[in-house]
Amino acid sequence: MERTLAIIKPDATKKRIIGKIIARIEQEGFTIVRMKLVHLTKDEAKGFYIVHKDKGFYDSLCEFMSSGPVVLMVLEAENAIKLWREVMGATDPAQAKPGTLRHTHGFSIERNTVHGSDARDTAEWEISYFFKK
Ligand code: ADP
Ligand code: MG
Write the CATH number for 15.
Answer: 3.30.70.141
- pLDDT for the residue 133: 77
For the stretch 37-45, contacts whose Cβ atoms lie closer than 8 Å and that sit 24 or more positions apart, written own/partner, are 37/13, 37/69, 37/70, 37/71, 37/72, 38/69, 38/70, 38/72, 39/66, 39/68, 39/69, 39/70, 40/65, 40/66, 40/70, 41/66, 42/66
The answer to whether the CB of 51 is under 6 A from ligand 1 is: no
Range of the domain at 46: 2-130
Q: Which residues of the chain have pLDDT under 70?
A: none
Whether 115 sits among the annotated catalytic residues: the reply is yes
- pLDDT for the residue 21: 98
Q: Give the ligand whose atoms come closest to the C-alpha of residue 84.
A: 1
- pLDDT for the residue 121: 98
76 contacts: CB under 8 Å, gap ≥ 6: 1, 2, 3, 30, 31, 32, 33
Q: Give the ligand whose atoms come closest to the C-alpha of residue 61.
A: 1
**Residue count (the chain):** 133
Question: How many separate domains does the chain show?
Answer: 1
The answer to whether the CB of 3 is under 6 A from ligand 1 is: no
- pLDDT for the residue 2: 98
